[in-house]
Structures are given as C-alpha cells and as structure tokens.
Amino acid sequence: MVDERRFDAVFAPLLDSTRRMLDRPVMVRSSRSSLLLASLVGCFALAHGSASAIAGAPSAARLEAATALFKRYVALEQSFDPAAADLYADEAKIQNTRRYPSGEVKVMSLPATKYKALLRSVMPAAKARGDKNSYSDVKYTTESDGIRVSAKRYSELKKYTSPLSILVKPTANGQWLIFEELSESQP
C-alpha cells in the first residue's frame, strides 16, 4: 500500500543528496561525469531496491491518475450521475459477492456492457431512495500494468461496511478506466 509521504521521504533526500554532489567543484571533468553516472545508477538501483521497502508503490503520475479516477467515481456516484458507467472499460470484470444473513454466499459476475447499462438505469431509483455510499481506508497499490484501489464502502441506506476493490489502468489511448471491480454486498 502506498503512503505518499513515505514515498517522498525516501526519494526526496536521495535527490537532494545527488544535487549537492553534482554542485560540488570537481577536479577532473571525467570524475564529474562518472559521479553523475554513478548517481543515476544509484538512484535507479535504490528505486528498484526500494520496491521491497515500499511494496507496490505506484509512480507519482500513475498514483495521480488513479486517485483522480477514484475521486471521479465517488463524485459521480454521490450525484447519481449515469456517466459513472463511462468509467468502466467495455471488457471490465465485474464481480459481486453477496453475503446473506443465513450465511449463504453467492458470487455473481456480469459482463461490463450489461453492468454499464444497469448502472445507467438504476441511478434514478438510487437517488429516490437516497442510496449513497461513503468510502474510507482508501489504498493504492501497483498491480501489473495498473493500480489497485481498495477501500471500505459504507452503505448509508443499509448501514453496513463492505470491501471494494477496483483495478484501474490506462487504455491504449491513455484514458484511465476501471478494468475490474470486486465488491461485496448484503441484501
């Protein structure tokens, strides 16, 4: 999970240290270029080695894109905007685990195109019922070529908390979309 402050805390001192080394007078020019090369190699090695220290840390640009998409997801949901359906890729995996009071569990999957149509059609009814969710404990982790956003979702109508996990990534044209949504619900 990414803690942006921790990520900055690891890399900011390294960059400052490298800048200070390069600003020092050097007696031989080839030493300065060697120092620059060594610093760059060191940054690269530290960045790759720190993956174990900051497991799954997404780059700043990818984190910013994933955060923006999740904020839009929440905003569109909160305003009952059918445009929320446009945040999903047509090939997205949609899976919901339904937990019943009896202990029965049903896992349901739906093709993204049907889910998108369903979202568009249920927004007016959800608005009429005041069926809103709030999110907490939001975390971002790198997963393959995307970012996994996981959160706790609280149903204000039904008064329960459940996990939500979405995988977001850029399409071939660079647009960030949801490619997987794993959720849980209760009747």
- The reported pLDDT for the residue numbered 25 is 38
Residue 133, strand partner residues: 155
Per-residue pLDDT of the chain (187 residues; tens, 9 = 90+): 444 444 344 434 433 433 333 343 333 333 333 333 333 333 333 344 433 334 456 789 999 999 999 999 999 999 999 999 999 999 999 999 999 999 999 999 999 999 999 999 999 999 999 999 999 999 999 998 899 999 999 999 999 999 999 999 999 999 999 999 999 999 9
Residues 6+ apart with CB under 8 A from 88: 94, 112, 115, 116, 177, 178, 181
Instruction: Give the CA distances from residue 27 to residues 37, 98, 104, in Å, rounded to whole numbers and listed in that order.
Output: 17, 70, 75
- The reported pLDDT for the residue numbered 144 is 85
- Range 60-185 classified under CATH 3.40.50.2300: no
- The reported pLDDT for the residue numbered 44 is 38
- The reported pLDDT for the residue numbered 57 is 63
Displacement of CA 124 from its chain's centroid (Å) = 28
- The reported pLDDT for the residue numbered 49 is 40
Residue ranges of domains in the chain: 4-49, 60-185
Contact between residue 66 and residue 19 where contact means Cβ atoms under 8 Å apart? no
- The reported pLDDT for the residue numbered 9 is 44
Alpha carbons 81 and 123: distance in angstroms, whole number: 7
Give φ, ψ of 82 to 5 degrees: -60, -15
- The reported pLDDT for the residue numbered 58 is 72
- The reported pLDDT for the residue numbered 139 is 97
Place of tokens 């008064």: 159
The CA angle 155-179-124, to the nearest 5 degrees, is 40
Question: Would you say the pTM of this structure is higher than 0.85?
Answer: no
- The reported pLDDT for the residue numbered 11 is 39
Among residues 101, 78, 76, which one has the least CA distance to residue 86? 76
3-state secondary structure of 152: strand
Alpha carbons 138 and 20: distance in angstroms, whole number: 36
